[in-house]
Each structure stands twice: as C-alpha cells, then as structure tokens.
Chains A and B, each alone.
Chain A
Amino acid sequence: MVILTIAVVSAFSFPVFAAGISVDEQQILDHLDSQGAAYDVTTTRTFSRYRNMIENWLLANDISTQRCTAISACIDTVANRYSAALASKGLASTDYPGLKAALSNSEMINLATGMVRGIAPAFATVNIKLTEQMVAQDSIFSIEATLFDTGANAEGVLGASIGGAGGTTVIGTLDEPIKQTGFDVNSTVVVCAGLTALLVLCAAVIRKQGLLSASEVE
C-alpha cells in the first residue's frame, strides 16, 4: 500500500504555479481513491499521509492531460506489483492486514525494496527520480523513499537535495510524520564508551610490555 501511494506522489512534474486542482488532476486523486478502495487501504494512516502529499503537489503544479494519463498508468503499475505480492502469499486483494501478518520484517523490507526499485523505471518516464534508503530507528528498520521531480530536461540528475538544487524538487518522502526534534546523543555515548574501553586496553598492553617504563628498568 505504501508503494501504491508512492507511485502517485512521485508521478508529477513541471513545477509551474497552479490554480487549485484541475479536472484532469482530480481524476488522478479519484483513480488513487478507487485503487486504494480496491485494496482496502483508504482508511489507513499511511494512505492519508501520501494522498495529502499528492493533493499538495497537485495544488502547487499544473499537470497536462497527457501527463495525468501517464501518472494513472504509474498508479496501475504499482497496484499490479502490490497485487502480485498479495497473490504470492495466497491473499486476496483486500487483505492488507493479512499481508502484514504474513510477512516477517525482513520479508517486508525485501518486498518494499524490490517494489521501489521495480517501479523506478515507470517513474522515470514522467521525469521522477526515486531513491531509497534503509533507515533504522529504535531497532525498527524501514525503507525511506524520496521522490524528486527532475523536470523535463534534468534526466540523470544526481545531486538532488531540498529546495530544488540541481533542478530537482522533493515531491514526497516515505518518512514518518513525527520527527526527531531533540538531541539524540545515545550513539555518541556508545562510541565514547567503546573508545574508552579501547584506550584502557591499549594502556594495559603498553603496561604489560613495559614500553613506558624502559628507562626505569634500565
């Protein structure tokens, strides 16, 4: 389902100012809603998040009729892959909870990674670059995908960053809504403890070999 929503979030380009949502653009939202309903995911929090991203992107951009059609095709591509994942576990298309229960964490990660990589070519046809990154937080691993609008003439852009550097603009991210907004020094404490232990070990070796007491020995 996450990947289903990625497709729509990703499939927009030509960042020009728009006046609301056009009829063609509304059809994209409708298509997403219908596919979401087919897979029984429209009530999930994830669906709401990414549908909102899509709506924001439509509000900020004008999408041509031709491009809207291509975007709908991207939605179908992702839906088909998701459907295949369900079928591989012997589940019905509406059994989203069943898929979560049927897959281990590692299988879920593998599925997400495979889908992200598998649908990337479809995104490229609508000038969207898709990157994925493994993220670990509180012992929970997840895939974070970021979608960049590369524009019509920016194929092969590698230096994507926020704010459109390198001709790109972030369209959507698969990160959680709630961010880390305070210091997290756990890693520093662990590393410092490790280095201190290393220091003690070195001191013990040096002491055992008598490297620092040579003149006294002599």
Chain B
Amino acid sequence: MNRRRINQILAYFYVPVFFSLIGAVIVLVALLPFWTLLSTTASVLLKDEAPTFAASLRVIYSDPGPNDVNVPADPDSSSNGQAISLSDVQWPVFGDLYGELSCEAAGIDAPVYFGDSSEILRAGLGTYIGSFIPGYGKPILISGHDTTYFLPLQYVVKGDVFTFKTSYAVYEYEVTDVKVLKYNDASAFDLGTDQEQLILYTCYPFDKIVGTKTDRLFIYAERISGPDLT
C-alpha cells in the first residue's frame, strides 16, 4: 500500500473530524451572544420554581405597600412639605436592589439596582452610580436592555406617569420629553445639576438586531410626588 493510498484512507477520518470541529466552532461563536438568553430560557423551562437572576446582588428593597405613610394618597399631590431624614434611609451601594420602577401605560414593571454593570442589566434596570436615588434632588440616570425590561419604553409618551417605589417612599414622575440621541451626545443629560430629573434610556432602534446600536431612546420625567430626602 503506497503512501498516497494511506493518505486517502486517513482522509476519511480526519476530514470529517476537521469539518466537525470547524462546524462546532462556528455554532459556538454564533450562539455566544445569545447564550444568556438560551440558558435562561432553558432554566425557566426546566425549573419548577421561578429562577433567581440576581443571586450575587444584595436586596435592600422591600415593597412599602399601599398603607405606608410615605405613599402618596393623591397621585397629583406635591412633594412640598414632605421630607424624610437621610438617617432613615439605607443608602444603596453598587449592586443593591433598592427599588421598583413601573409605568402602567407602557407596561413597564422592573426592579431597579444601584449600578449598571452587565450583570445588573441582566437582572433588571441599572442606576448609574454617578447619579442619585429618588428624593435627593439630583439627576437619576437609569438604563435597561431594549430586549427585556425596557422593551416597552418605546410606547412611552409625554404625560405618562412612572411610579418609583423604594423602601423609604413612593415617588411619581411625569414624562416631559422623549428624544432619540447618539449614545455620546453631550446634551443628553447634565449630572452636575441640582435638579431632580428621572432619565431613562435604552438602545434604539428596537428592531435592529445586527450591528452596533449607537442611538439611544431617552425618556425625561419630572417628579410630581414623593418626599424630599434631607
């Protein structure tokens, strides 16, 4: 049996192996961006109970409930005259679940964390740690993925009301503006201001799947109820 014949026989083994490996690598790389989605879906289907997405994150939030003294009885009431001492507030640190944001009109209801790492954004909405929390009188910059918690953000319009529940009080914010801007647009927000403004954003457009999304949908809302932190 000559050398060429041996090579031909061996080719029946290593060519399929080679192509199988190449195929596996292609499938692996192609699925990598969707791995979290796939594994989460699998875990949801296989588990008997609801999965915990944020096992490594700390929870300091507890729903104040409708009878809490700081929950506004009248949604249109002003925050004037109400105040909570900072000593009564457990200030969040990076990774803390400290609130819940909802908007009935748009169908948004999501947990809010302090910090906006990729781990946090998988678990809920993230607050940029260079911004603040409700009631402090300074900007609140919150992000969420456009395929999960902030998918309904596209339905938000001026005048919609967001309810921001924290352990210490419930706040309401009315949407005043909706903009689509570049991700690096310097005019999108000013974190140095002493005016409380809820700024929500997510990637835009929503139906773009392939390619980097350089636009962001920004929602701006002003506080209409809830106590000051002093």
| Given contact pairs A138-B214, A192-B29, A211-B8, A163 touches B192 in the complex (Cβ within 8 A) | no
Q: Give the contact stretch, choosing among A23-31, A80-88, A98-106, A171-179.
A: A171-179
- B residues less than 8 Å from A188 (CB atoms): 29-30, 32-33
B11 touches A211 (CB 8 A): yes
CA distance A173 to B130 in the complex (A): 9
B115 touches A178 (CB 8 A): no
Minimum C-beta distance from B124 to chain A (A): 12
Q: Which of B130-154 contact A (CB under 8 A)?
A: 130-132, 138, 141, 143-147, 150
CA distance A182 to B117 in the complex (A): 13
- B residues less than 8 Å from A17 (CB atoms): 90-91
Minimum C-beta distance from A115 to chain B (A): 20
Name the residue on B nearest A52 (C-beta): B130
Minimum C-beta distance from B17 to chain A (A): 12
Q: Does A110 interact with chain B (Cβ within 8 Å)? A: no
- B residues less than 8 Å from A214 (CB atoms): 5, 8, 11
Q: Give the contact stretch, choosing among A66-74, A89-97, A150-158, A198-206.
A: A198-206
A169 touches B93 (CB 8 A): yes
- A residues less than 8 Å from B58 (CB atoms): 163-164
Q: Does A38 interact with chain B (Cβ within 8 Å)? A: no
Taking a contact as CB atoms closer than 8 A, the residue among B91, B121, B131, B211 that contacts A186 in the complex is B211
| Given contact pairs A188-B30, A214-B8, A20 touches B86 in the complex (Cβ within 8 A) | yes
| Given contact pairs A49-B130, A182-B202, A59 touches B91 in the complex (Cβ within 8 A) | yes
Q: Which of B120, B126, B189, B203 has the most CB of A within 10 A?
A: B203
Interface size class of chain B, counting residues whose CB lies under 8 Å from the partner chain? 35 or more
Q: Does A50 interact with chain B (Cβ within 8 Å)? A: yes
A162 touches B132 (CB 8 A): no
Taking a contact as CB atoms closer than 8 A, the residue among B25, B130, B141, B209 that contacts A185 in the complex is B209
Taking a contact as CB atoms closer than 8 A, the residue among A177, A179, A184, A195 that contacts B130 in the complex is A177
Q: Does A208 interact with chain B (Cβ within 8 Å)? A: no
Q: Which of B1-41 contact A (CB under 8 A)?
A: 5, 7-8, 11, 15, 18-19, 22, 25-26, 29-30, 32-33
CA distance A20 to B229 in the complex (A): 10
Chain A 26-63 interface mask (CB, 8 Å, partner B; 1/0): 00000000000000000101011111110111011100
Q: Does B158 interact with chain A (Cβ within 8 Å)? A: no
Interface size class of chain A, counting residues whose CB lies under 8 Å from the partner chain? 35 or more
Q: Does A136 interact with chain B (Cβ within 8 Å)? A: no
Minimum C-beta distance from A209 to chain B (A): 9
CA distance A189 to B91 in the complex (A): 43
CA distance A48 to B195 in the complex (A): 14
Q: Which of A51, A57, A162 has the most CB of B within 10 A?
A: A162
Minimum C-beta distance from B189 to chain A (A): 8
Taking a contact as CB atoms closer than 8 A, the residue among B7, B29, B116, B209 that contacts A191 in the complex is B29
A182 touches B201 (CB 8 A): no
Q: Does B177 interact with chain A (Cβ within 8 Å)? A: no
- B residues less than 8 Å from A49 (CB atoms): 130, 191
Binding site for A on B (CB under 8 A): 5, 7-8, 11, 15, 18-19, 22, 25-26, 29-30, 32-33, 56-58, 85-87, 90-96, 115-117, 119-121, 126, 128-132, 138, 141, 143-147, 150, 183-184, 186, 188-192, 201-204, 208-214, 216
For the complex of A and B, list the 6 residue pairs with the smallest distance between their C-beta atoms, beginning with the closest. Answer: A182-B203, A48-B192, A214-B8, A19-B87, A163-B95, A49-B130
Binding site for B on A (CB under 8 A): 15, 17-20, 43, 45, 47-53, 55-57, 59-61, 138, 161-165, 169-173, 176-186, 188-189, 191-192, 195-196, 198-199, 202, 206, 211-212, 214-215
List 6 other contacts, CB 8 Å, given A51-B192, A183-B213.
Answer: A19-B87, A49-B130, A53-B129, A163-B56, A163-B57, A171-B94
